[in-house]
Structure 1
């Protein structure tokens, strides 16, 4: 009877580790996607000093791959029925579990600081856009890409460039009230109506703000790292409980 229970537990632990390995690989892939920053929003987070979402992604890259490797080792240890191997497996999984908890918590708590309201993003835009420093060039390139990709202008609206003092206004305010990236484009990506854009005609300028787009993309990063990470953690916690029972039953 006892031997039958051990065999049943062994099969369950092996199957759960197969799923854990797959979940670890998926976490690894998602974390790489966030770290690569396909929407190129890292400069906005970095300027504020709150780039913890990307730090969490690097931790998740490690933990995802570590879960995969350790789960494979767990399958080997389970089939060997050696308490020393199972104990090593449990210790390794517990260490990885702690690191992944840190990754999830870091990502979800940092999100609110960046996307809680538009004032932080707006102040960065006004200060650094068109500035000739390294930070200024990074922010300028980021905002040009965001405004063209999302077909938006400014943080809340194009009026951000007019109602607030900014580096762009000081340098180009007499020529253009807002950047040319705010202008609607032809298929060749040239401004469709530069004069109308300069005058603020709705048919020639992107009239919506970019904050909703930035908020949405940063939320995607956060959910990928934190909420999927939390779901993996819940599964691993259940796996560890079963593995501990299996360890206890082994002679």
Structure 2
């Protein structure tokens, strides 16, 4: 390959690595957003032991920043036109590539397990809500906040509390058919009509289920870690191919 063609190829390698570095930094930021769990739904996935979406986010934090640093190193290696440096770059990038593949696959498969249907989320709610254990307290707090903020009740509907046996039903019996967080609130957050809510008056309680909201949040997390991660992988894969060609043309 002529000197001019090799220079053009070097420029292409540098540009691709600069773009991949920016994409890696963006993946790093997005993964931090998921790991921080701004919607505070980790207990719902954590109680089942299926918190792989968040584990994948921590992997993506590492791989995103590693992509950024390695791409900077790749730009330096390309400018130096050093076969040894380019080989080191290719090996490191390939290792990080494999880690990010694991992150993307883990997040996608875990999301399908959690939100394929509402049964798992419903089962956890019925088992742990109002339970005195540490997990029970976390689940209770999470569901109380979701029901109040999203204005929903139960996983599919308030009937979940009536149709299935639950820790809440065993604890409160006929006194409460469902948690008070299912009741509509006034502007001062006081229950609008306590008696009407307790007997199931539709105008005083939330009638929609919460599963749709939970599904949407976990899907956002998955899209952030898995599908954005996948797009970064495709960019890195193309960058690696071009870099390999450049490496083979070096003396």
Match of 2:118 in 1: 118
Residue by residue over 1:101-140, the C-alpha shift from the partner in whole angstroms, topping out at 9 and shown as x without a partner, is 0000111111111101111111110111001100100100
Matched, 1:146 2:146: yes
Q: Tell me, which stretches of 5 or more residues in structure 2 are unaligned? A: none
TM-score normalised to structure 1 length:
0.98
Task: List aligned pairs for 1:1-251, cutoff 5 A.
Answer: 2-251=2-251
Q: Please state how far the C-alpha of 1:171 moved relative to its aligned partner.
A: 1.3
1 CA distance for matches of 2:147 and 2:125?
A: 12
Q: Please state how far the C-alpha of 1:172 moved relative to its aligned partner.
A: 1.5
2 CA distance for matches of 1:124 and 1:176?
A: 19
Residue by residue over 1:73-93, the C-alpha shift from the partner in whole angstroms, topping out at 9 and shown as x without a partner, is 111111111111111111110
Q: Please state how far the C-alpha of 1:174 moved relative to its aligned partner.
A: 2.6
2 CA distance for matches of 1:187 and 1:72?
A: 53
How many corresponding residue pairs?
Answer: 251
2 CA distance for matches of 1:108 and 1:75?
A: 32
Q: Which runs of 4+ in 1 moved over 3 A?
A: none
Q: Tell me, which stretches of 5 or more residues in structure 1 are unaligned? A: none
Q: Please state how far the C-alpha of 1:176 moved relative to its aligned partner.
A: 1.2
TM-score normalised to structure 2 length:
0.98
2 CA distance for matches of 1:199 and 1:33?
A: 41
C-alpha RMSD over aligned residues? 0.9
2 CA distance for matches of 1:216 and 1:102?
A: 23
2 CA distance for matches of 1:90 and 1:149?
A: 49
> Which range moves more in the overlay, 189-198 or 2-11?
189-198
2 CA distance for matches of 1:185 and 1:26?
A: 40
2 CA distance for matches of 1:26 and 1:173?
A: 50
